[in-house]
Amino acid sequence: MAVMTGLSGNEIFCLHKKGLSPGNIVIGNSVYSMGFMGSLGAGLSTLTGGEVTQVTDMVHQGRLNSYTRMVEEATRHGGVGITGVSNELIKQAGNVEFLSIGSCVHQEGAQSERLSFSSSADGQELYCQMDAGFRPIKFVFGNVAYSIGIGGGLGGMFKSMQRGEIEQFSQIFNQTRHLALQRITEEARSVGANAVVGIETSIIPFQGIQEMVMIGTASFHPALPAQHVQAPITSDLTNEEMWNLVNMGFMPLKLLLGVSVYSVGIVGGISAALKSFARGEISELTTLIYSARENAIAKIAADAQACGADDVVGIKTYVYSLGSGIIEFLAMGTAVKRIAGLTTVSENLPAQAVIRDKETFFNTAEFAIGTNLNSHTTSGGGD
């Protein structure tokens, strides 16, 4: 029977270089309802702020169910691994569907009753990972559903009347965002990995709160010191970026997060509102956002120093409006360190590993709905 694969020509070429051949698209799904009791418990949790564990647990189980069913299908196809694994959340008629899609791959002469690996990396990215010395083990994810809550809101409400950082909000957001990173790291550690690479982060509105989810590939690299089996390294560098750094002798150490929540204050808000009627710079907002940015970046700089990094690379910054003149500033970057003798298998990446596939289907119908079986990326910022 002909292979029905979601892999592109570039992906197939790259995987062939690593001894892998394309197999069928594999899919797993799970449709969930929170139920009355779950909704009631989540509603009570949102009053205190921080993690809403009822929602976190439900979403985690739904994501896990869809992933497990996808793996079972790949195993029935006799695959050695799955590449390009997605883990999506789709709202449908009051319920939620969790959907996992990937492409099965085979290896000549390999016979196994279970998969050797699964990976969030597509075929091109997986080539970069493997050529950088990483052996893929398992697709992993970590999630957290969270709310500011009335409890945090009351303390922060009074602080928001003054200009500057609202420490209560900063603490809540910092703790919850780090929970997702802790959980993806713990899942990697549980399968014997010493690294989680290619991490992608999404922030998704859900049931009036927010879910932050990180996905990546738990992997093993022989050049990493033994302690990283218990404390895996983490990186949100693209796989191509990571290959370039490993080629130059740098190894990722840790994905760093810095969070600051600031308020423009009542006086600043009134002043900014009055200035907005006239053309020109609103200095209150300019300096506020600058201070928040500097504070968030200072936090990841302190974490980098604590873990012994040489540099922090790939820093990305995101600004979210929380309403009422309050903003959250999130900074993310990967700490790296030079390791003597570290390099890649190949001297250069093939062009097929870095060429972006061209989209050939364009849907302009406003009423059209559906899922693109070739689209596995779930990264992005907040909505």
- DSSP letters, 210-265, are EEEEEEEEEEE-TTS-GGGGTS-EE--S-HHHHHHHHHTTEEEEEEEEEEEEEE--
Does the residue 186 lie in any domain? yes
Q: Which of 331, 125, 140 is nearest to 234 (CA)?
A: 140
Does the residue 347 lie in any domain? no
Task: Read off the tokens for 318.
Answer: 């995101």
Backbone dihedral angles phi then psi of residue 55, each to the nearest 5 degrees: -75, -40
| Eight-class DSSP state of 84 | S
Contacts 24+ apart (CB under 8 A), 356-360: 357/8, 357/10, 357/11
Q: Which of 6, 1, 4, 12 is nearest to 355 (CA)?
A: 12
Q: What residues of the chain score a pLDDT lower than 70? A: 1, 34-49, 110-113, 148-163, 207-208, 264-282, 284, 322-325, 365-383
Instruction: Count CB-CB contacts under 10 A for residue 363.
Output: 9
Q: What is the dihedral of CA 284, 285, 290, 296, to 10 degrees?
A: 120
Q: What is the dihedral of CA 369, 375, 377, 378, to 10 degrees?
A: 20
**Number of domains present in the structure of the chain:** 1
At residue 60, the pLDDT reads 94
Q: What distances in angstroms separate CA 180 from CA 50, 62, 321, 348, 357, one per listed residue?
A: 13, 16, 21, 34, 30
Q: How many residues does the chain have?
A: 383
Can you give the pTM of this predicted structure?
0.84
Does the residue 334 lie in any domain? yes
| Eight-class DSSP state of 146 | E
Does the residue 170 lie in any domain? yes
Assess contact for 82 and 70: CB atoms under 8 A: yes
- Helix or strand (DSSP H, E) at 88: strand 88-92
Does the residue 381 lie in any domain? no
Residue 99: domain span: 9-341
Does the residue 2 lie in any domain? no
Looking at this protein, which amino acid is placed at residue 293?
R
Q: Which of 126, 317, 332 is nearest to 235 (CA)?
A: 332
At residue 115, the pLDDT reads 86
Does the residue 352 lie in any domain? no
Cα gap 277→88, rounded to integer Å: 43
Does the residue 350 lie in any domain? no
Cα gap 14→20, rounded to integer Å: 9
- Helix or strand (DSSP H, E) at 99: strand 95-106
Assess contact for 7 and 103: CB atoms under 8 A: yes
At residue 266, the pLDDT reads 42
Burial pattern 47-70, b for ≥16 Cβ within 10 A else e, equals eebbbbebbbebbbebbbbbbebb
- Helix or strand (DSSP H, E) at 129: helix 123-131
At residue 162, the pLDDT reads 58
Task: Read off the tokens for 260.
Answer: 């600051």
